[in-house]
A and B are shown apart, each in its own frame.
Chain A
Amino acid sequence: MSSMLTKLLGVVLLLSTTGLASCQAMWVKALHVPFSFGFWN
């Protein structure tokens, strides 16, 4: 059970780093405006 939770945490971290950075890069290239996410920037 704890092993699954660890993996789940790992996946969440990958989604919120690699996945988010990729989406931000696409956003910036598409709109030529800095990525704004409310609290994020």
Chain B
Amino acid sequence: MASSRPSRRRPIWIGGWLLFLLPLPLLWAMIIALGKGALAGFLSSAVALGLLLLGAWVTRRGLYQAKRRPMSSSLPLKTIGGVITAVGTALTAMVAGHNPAIGICFGGAALLGFYLTYGFDKRLKLSNDKDVAAALEEAYRKLERLEAAGENIGSRDFRERLQRISAWGEKILDRIGDDPEDFRRARKFLNVYLDGAQQVTDKFARTRGDANSAELEENFRTLLADMETVCEEQYQHLLDNDVVDLDVQIEVLTTRLKREGVY
């Protein structure tokens, strides 16, 4: 069993905002230089500030992209944001009076700090395996649709269960992103489980509007509990490199879904 239950709501890491806060003293430097009529000082501060804010903005876009479309073939925004931040830091150090060599050291250290805080884009590792990248991107979309389907359900208990299922799904996809070799073993999960979970949730949301029966709710609750367990065990099997048990479990869940009329 996996040791910890994931939370769907990830903490907002201060770094997302940190990169916007760090260059703010440059704004004051610009105002002072402008007040003193020092055009060169004003322009150099403005360029350094502009670069750092651009780096922060690109990084935020990259962080969002990494969460929602981690394998997308679009630009590696997080990495680009890190490079812009490093260049901006080097320029800022030179604006502060350091020689270019020290400025480059500032930039290099900032890039290391950026990497430790945010990392670079995962897709660089997967550039040779486009099939896996495309399948993962589709799987992340399915998770989004599952969450959207859950929003249509009034019961807080069900919504929370679906959020936990979605969080496990995200953990599994993240794991495959880190180690694409896991994709083969998780193929059934991606093809059967995610679709099934979304369809049964949609079906429940629709049916519940017509007939609010206790039996239907109980069936759905049990099914969600089973799904959560399967997801949790799927993750553990990925960690253990265990193929056979996993396929058997997915077959059992498929049978359940068929009984519920999803397949």
Kindly state whether residue B244 has any CB partner on chain A within 8 Å.
Answer: no
> A residues bordering B, Cβ < 8 Å?
6-7, 9-19, 21-30, 34-35
Kindly state whether residue B88 has any CB partner on chain A within 8 Å.
Answer: yes
Interface pairs (18), CB distance under 8 Å = A6-B116, A7-B13, A7-B117, A9-B113, A10-B15, A10-B115, A11-B117, A13-B109, A14-B114, A17-B107, A18-B23, A22-B22, A22-B92, A26-B28, A26-B32, A28-B95, A29-B38, A34-B97
Q: In the complex, what residue of chain A is closest to B92 when comparing beta carbons?
A: A21
Q: In the complex, what residue of chain A is closest to B95 when comparing beta carbons?
A: A25
Report Cα–Cα, A25/B47, bound state, in Å: 13
Pick the 7 closest A-B CB pairs, nearest first: A13-B113, A10-B116, A10-B117, A24-B96, A26-B25, A29-B29, A14-B113
Given contacts A14-B18, A14-B22, A35-B97, contact A25 B117 (CB under 8 A): no
Distance of B59 from chain A, by nearest CB (Å): 11
**CB–CB B113/A23 < 8 A:** no
The prevalent SS among residues of B at the interface is: helix
A interface footprint on B13-39 (CB within 8 Å = 1, 0 otherwise): 111001100111110111011001010
Q: Given A14-B22, A14-B114, A25-B48, output 8 extra A-B contacts at Cβ < 8 Å.
A: A6-B116, A10-B114, A11-B14, A15-B22, A17-B89, A18-B106, A29-B30, A30-B29
**CB–CB A22/B116 < 8 A:** no
Q: In the complex, what residue of chain A is closest to B116 when comparing beta carbons?
A: A10
**CB–CB A18/B88 < 8 A:** yes
